[in-house]
C-alpha cells in the first residue's frame, strides 16, 4: 500500500567504535532528503531508505511566520519517515529576545512530529554565532515537549563539528554535518575522495551529502543523509544505488 502525504497550504571517516544513537537504530542507514518539490518515492526499498521530508519552514524576523510544505509527498506505507523543520532567521532582521519566542517556535516544531507516519524529527537551522544561545534553548525546549522515545536530529554546519564546541551536551541523537554547498571552498568539489574528521562527538555518527557533489570517505557505520536537487526520480535513485553499493 502507498501512503500519500499531501501537505499543502490548507562525509568523513570516523573511528569504527562510533555507532549511531540507539534511538535511530530502527532506521535504514540511508535517508533521502525530500525537499520542497513533488516527491514520488513509492518505489523505494524501505529496507534501504528512510525519508526525511521538509514539513514546514519557520521564518523569524520581528515576528514568527510558518509556511507549510506546499508540494505532495508519496511514500511507501511502511517507510520510516522523519519530519524536517527548516528555520530561517536572517541575522539583520531576526529579533530573538522575545521571551515567548522559544516556546512558540518549539510548539511549531513539535507539531510536525505529531503527523501520521512520522517517527523522528529533524531541525535545520544555520544559526549564526550570536544566535546559538537561542538555538540551544530551542533544542532543549523542543526535546522537553517531544515524545521521549522519538529521535531528535539536527543538521550542522561542518565548522560546528570540526572540534568540540557549542554542540556539546545538546539533547540530540545526532548532529548531521552538511558536507555539501560549502561556500567558496572548492577543494571538496575537486576531490572525488576527500576526508572530513569530526571533532564533536554528536557529529560522528552521520553525514550529509548531495548527489551532485563528490562524497567524502564514509565509515561503514555512519548514517548517510542524501540531498538531491529537485525531485527524486528513477535515474537519481539508480545513481545513488551505485554510490552506496561497494
Average pLDDT over residues 25-45: 96
pTM here?
A: 0.88
- Residues 162, 199: Cα–Cα separation, whole Å: 5
Report the CATH number at residue 213. Answer: 3.20.20
**In a domain? residue 216:** yes
Nearest to 38 by CA among 8, 7, 5, 73: 73
**In a domain? residue 101:** yes
**In a domain? residue 24:** no
**In a domain? residue 20:** no
**In a domain? residue 139:** yes
Tens of pLDDT, residue by residue over 175-199, are 999 999 866 555 544 555 677 888 8
Q: Could you tell me the residue range of the domain that residue 215 belongs to?
A: 2-13+38-244
- Ranking 29-43, 191-205, 215-229 by mean pLDDT, the lowest is 191-205
H/E element, 234: helix 234-244
> CA torsion sign, 74 to 79 to 85 to 86?
negative
CB 73 within 8 A of CB 79: no
Whole-number pLDDT of residue 191: 57
**In a domain? residue 19:** no
Give 3-state DSSP helix, strand, coil % of the chain, rounded to 5. 20, 30, 50
**In a domain? residue 120:** yes
- Residues 63, 95: Cα–Cα separation, whole Å: 7
Average pLDDT over residues 52-58: 98
> CA torsion sign, 52 to 11 to 58 to 185?
negative
Q: Which residues contact 81 (CB under 8 A, 6 or more apart)?
A: 50, 51, 52, 53, 75, 117, 118, 119, 120
**In a domain? residue 21:** no
The structural domain count of the chain equals: 1
Amino acid at each position: 500500500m502507498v501512503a500519500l502525504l499531501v501537505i499543502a497550504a490548507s562525509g568523513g571517516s570516523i573511528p569504527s567504535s562510533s555507532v549511531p544513537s540507539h534511538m535511530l537504530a530502527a532506521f535504514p542507514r540511508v535517508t533521502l532528503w525530500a525537499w520542497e518539490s513533488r516527491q514520488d518515492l513509492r518505489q523505494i526499498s524501505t529496507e534501504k531508505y528512510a525519508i526525511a521530508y521538509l514539513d514546514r519552514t519557520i521564518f523569524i524576523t520581528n515576528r514568527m511566520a510558518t509556511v507549510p510544505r506546499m508540494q505532495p509527498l508519496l511514500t511507501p506505507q511502511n517507510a520510516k519517515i522523519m519530519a524536517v523543520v527548516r528555520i530561517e532567521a536572517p541575522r539583520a532582521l531576526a529579533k530573538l529576545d522575545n521571551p515567548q519566542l522559544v516556546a512558540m517556535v518549539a510548539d511549531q516544531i513539535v507539531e510536525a512530529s505529531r503527523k501520521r507516519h512520522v517517527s523522528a524529527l529533524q531541525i535545520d537551522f544555520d544559526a549564526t554565532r550570536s544566535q546559538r544561545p537561542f538555538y540551544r534553548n530551542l533544542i532543549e525546549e523542543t526535546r522537553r515537549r517531544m515524545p521521549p522515545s522519538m529521535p531528535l536530529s539536527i543538521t550542522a554546519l561542518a565548522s560546528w563539528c570540526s572540534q568540540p564546541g557549542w554542540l556539546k551536551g545538546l539533547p540530540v541523537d545526532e548532529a548531521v554535518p552538511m558536507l555539501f554547498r560549502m561556500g567558496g571552498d572548492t577543494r571538496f568539489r575537486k576531490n572525488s575522495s576527500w576526508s572530513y574528521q569530526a571533532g564533536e562527538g554528536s557529529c560522528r555518527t552521520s553525514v550529509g551529502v548531495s548527489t551532485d557533489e563528490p562524497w567524502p570517505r564514509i565509515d561503514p557505520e555512519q548514517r548517510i543523509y542524501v540531498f538531491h536537487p529537485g525531485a527524486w526520480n528513477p535515474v537519481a535513485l539508480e545513481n545513488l544505488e551505485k554510490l552506496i553499493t561497494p
